[in-house]
Amino acid sequence: SQQGEEDPQALSIQEGENATMNCSYKTSINNLQWYRQNSGRGLVHLILIRSNEREKHSGRLRVTLDTSKKSSSLLITASRAADTASYFCATDAGGNKLVFGAGTILRVKS
Amino acid sequence: DGGITQSPKYLFRKEGQNVTLSCEQNLNHDAMYWYRQDPGQGLRLIYYSQIVNDFQKGDIAEGYSVSREKKESFPLTVTSAQKNPTAFYLCASSILNNYGYTFGSGTRLTVV
């Protein structure tokens, strides 16, 4: 069962622009995490936001969490060609196991 | 360097054959996980283990088996009962409770 659903499915932007990806989920969570996957590779953990947090920053990444709407967003500022990848949200609803969404494919054109 | 290693990178399975995918970590993580990824889809949980000699089924455990005899190792066997095994398999590990996962680089399994 997929808990998180990302939106949009695909996003194409120019280098230097900001990229925003959204994630919605269905049940109460302990935390929500974002991962990046380059083609044919494993996933890389980007950021974790706990259920009692509303916003978190890491470098060019900004994540927000709205537990009342069961949604999260990932903002990548000043995007670079190297940001081209698939981005997944994953939710931990307890039991220490993550449930992943289908992902957003981001293409940054140089 | 600490990390998680999956082998082989590519694996070909004949019909009716069992194959085992290796996953080893030297991060001293308690929990380990196996996920399956199909094209255009997210990751689906096959099995997970939070402690040595114990593991639980995920959402799609049928046709798969695992063991956790050592903290560092969590091999996945794809049995002949798995009718559609062609996929990208990802192993991950984590410290329990509110920490992110570290993923291996994956094994691409193809039925020939």
Radius of gyration of the CA atoms of chain A, in A:
13
Give the Cα separation of B61 and B70 in Å (integer): 21
Q: Which residue of A has its CA nearest to B101?
A: A45
Q: What is the mean pLDDT of residues B92-106?
A: 90
Q: Kindly identify which residue of chain A lies nearest to residue B10, measuring between CA atoms.
A: A40
Q: Do B98 and A50 touch (CB under 8 A)?
A: yes
Contact A7, A104 (CB under 8 A): yes
Which residues of chain B does A53 touch, with a Cβ-Cβ cutoff of 8 Å?
Answer: none
- CB nearest to B50's CB, from A45, A92, A96: A96
Q: pLDDT of chain A along its 110 residues, tens only? A: 556 788 899 999 999 999 999 999 999 999 999 999 999 999 999 999 999 999 999 999 999 999 999 999 999 999 999 999 999 999 998 877 899 999 999 999 99
Which of A31, A50, A101 faces B42 most closely, judged by CB atoms?
A101
Residue indicated by tokens 């799609």: B60
H or E element, residue A105: strand A104-109
Chain A with chain B: Cβ pairs closer than 8 A: 62
Which residues are CB-contacts of A11 (< 8 A; sequence separation ≥ 6)? A19, A21, A104, A105, A106, A107
| Residue B85 burial (CB count, 10 A) | 20
* Nearest-angstrom CA–CA distance, A94 and A22: 22
Instruction: Report the residue of A37, A58, A98, A99 to disrupt the B interface, i.e. the one with the largest count of B CBs within 10 Å.
Output: A98
Read out DSSP for A16-74? TS-EEEEEE-SS--SEEEEEEE-TTS-EEEEEEEETT-SEEEETTEEEEEETTTTEEEE
Q: Across the interface, which of B43, B99, B104 has its CB nearest the CB of A100?
A: B43
**Dist CA A59 CA A82 (whole Å):** 15
Taking an 8 Å Cβ-Cβ cutoff, which residues of chain B contact chain A?
A: 6, 31, 33, 35, 40-45, 48, 50, 58-59, 88, 90, 92, 94, 96-106, 108
B75: cis peptide before it, omega within 30°?
Answer: no
Instruction: Give B97 or A33, the one with higher predicted confidence.
Output: A33
**A92 within 8 A of A3, measured Cβ to Cβ:** no
- CA B77 from chain centre, in angstroms, equals 9
> What is the structure's pLDDT at B93?
96
Q: A56-91 burial by CB neighbour count: b if 16+ within 10 A, else e?
A: eeeeebbbebeeeebbbbbebeebeeebbbbbbbbb
